[in-house]
Amino acid sequence: MLDFLNRLGPRIGSAAAVAAVVLLAGSAAAWFASGNVRSPGSTPPERKEAEGATKIRRLGSDELIVPAEAQAALGIKTAPAAVPTRPRQLPAFQGKLNFDNNQFARVQSPFAGPVIELTEIPEPQTAAIPYTPGEKARRVLKVGDDVSKGDVLAVVWSAELGAKKSDFLDALSKLKTDDETYKKFLAEYQSGGLAFTERSVREAERIVQSDRVSVERAEATLRAYRVAPEEVEALREEAERLTKPNGKRTDPARWARVEIKAPISGTVLEKSVAAGQLVDTSTDLFRIGDLSSLAVWVHVYEEDLPLLRGLALPRPWVVNAPALPGATFHGRLERISDSIDPAQNTALVTGTVQNPGGELRAGMGVNVTIELPPPKGEVEVPAEALVEDGRESFVFVRTDSTRDRFIRRPVTVVRRTRDVIAVAERPDGLKPGDLVVTAGSLLLGDAFADLPEGK
């Protein structure tokens, strides 16, 4: 060998000679280690029976025999297939927020007339606004102020309402007077007196009946004008008071005051009235909205509608706003439109979202996520259990009590997540409770592909 290197040296130089020595030495070591070179008289080593016990075998077209030692070497681990129990989340839909019509009110006057008062509320004191100590500054109600149901917002003067209240009071007073007269006539007639005839008693009774009709008609008119029940009752009390000897009539001018009250609790969103303005019954004086809940409008493409079909409504959903990163709001899906918008090929899906802190605003863009109930007809396995060879997907299932037999079962994947794979449940396929290989599944797949079918 040295002679060979000496002859080779002048051609390739000393560095190449050193590399050749290393290469030849490594090849020789490998050759001797392999047992291909033996000393004279040596015999080939015999294979031990223990080595045969660790050999993986393939039986038939779908079964592998993997002894315990081989399982340990491959790091085989198993986990049971399970019925889905967790709700699944649909991809987020984009939508818009709006005022909730169920918590929104337009405030109008039931009578036409001039606005004689606008409600004033205390003005918060600030250093920028000079004021006299002990004096409470007040200002007129404006947009953004909160009001409670029943709060007076404005007062409209209506001569018509004053006349209707006066008619009701007169009808009550006449009924009381005529009823007393009838009772007096009746008592005299029943006692045998000659002052009143039966005819006069019947006439008095007819007048009382006519008065009752007039009272009912006048009261119905007031209720049709949305006069509060407590105001009607106050008029009854006034009529009773007027029949007494020294009864004084309340200033009728106050009867023409129409108090415009808040129909719901909420925030003043619009104000379209000023003191002295002449308004009619179709004018929106205020618009009030309860912003603790907003409407959500989502336009869902028709190809995505099957994802929502069959859901029991209402159904919870989660709302996120890009303008409020990290904030999550909860609400519910309430209705899926029965028609498709031909211009956008979408269906309107509507619901609500809770807004207790007032962070959300009408018109804001949002993303809506809906959770579906756990699906039926599916089996879930850990993601590590799935093996795919480009042609089909399958898992290995441990099938016997000796723990060394594994069946290769083809599966149809219906849904994937990072940790779990859902496959379709089939009569002859994977079932809940089957032990599927997780760690080492890919190695078993390689072994299955390389081994010939055995018996």
Give dist(CA 127, CA 133) in Å, integer: 12
User: If we measure between CA atoms, which residue out of 264, 315, 256 comes closest to residue 286?
Assistant: 264
State CA 264 to chain mean position distance. 24
pLDDT above 60 for 241: yes
| Mean pLDDT to the nearest integer, 62-76 | 86
**131 vs 339, more confident:** 339
User: Who contacts 51 (Cβ-Cβ below 8 Å, separation ≥6)?
Assistant: none
Question: What is the pLDDT at residue 156?
Answer: 93
Instruction: Determine if the peptide bond prior to 314 is cis (ω within 30°).
Output: yes
- Residue 170 tokens, joined: 């007169």
Residue 64 above 80 pLDDT?
Answer: yes
Residue 34 has pLDDT above 90, yes or no: no
Q: With pLDDT > 70 as the criterion, what percentage of the chain qualifies?
A: 82
The most confident of 15-19, 47-51, 102-106, 310-314, by mean pLDDT? 102-106
Question: Which tops the pLDDT comparison, 228 or 32?
Answer: 228
Instruction: Classify strands 365-372 and 93-99 as parallel, antiparallel or unpaired.
Output: antiparallel
Please state the domain extents for the chain.
Answer: 57-86+376-450, 93-100+290-372, 109-125+136-283
Given a cut of 80, is residue 320 above it in pLDDT? Answer: yes
Which of 269 and 428 is assigned the larger pLDDT?
Answer: 269
Specify the DSSP element, H or E, that contains 238. Answer: helix 229-242
Collect all residues with Cβ–Cβ distance below 8 Å to 264 and sequence separation of at least 6. 103, 105, 149, 288, 290
Q: Is the pLDDT at 37 greater than 70, yes or no?
A: no
pLDDT value at 253 more than 60: yes
Q: What's residue 26's pLDDT?
A: 36
Banded pLDDT at 251 (limits 50, 70, 90)? low
| pLDDT range class, residue 3, cuts 50, 70, 90 | very low
DSSP state of 254: G
Output the average pLDDT for the chain: 80
Ramachandran assignment for 53, one of left (phi > 0), alpha (psi -120 to 50 degrees), beta (any other): alpha
Per CATH, which fold does 93-100+290-372 belong to? Elongation Factor Tu (Ef-tu); domain 3 (2.40.30)
Judged by average pLDDT, the poorest of 125-139, 143-157, 409-423 is: 125-139
Give the CATH fold of the 57-86+376-450 domain. 2.40.420
CA–CA dist 238, 173 (Å, integer)? 9
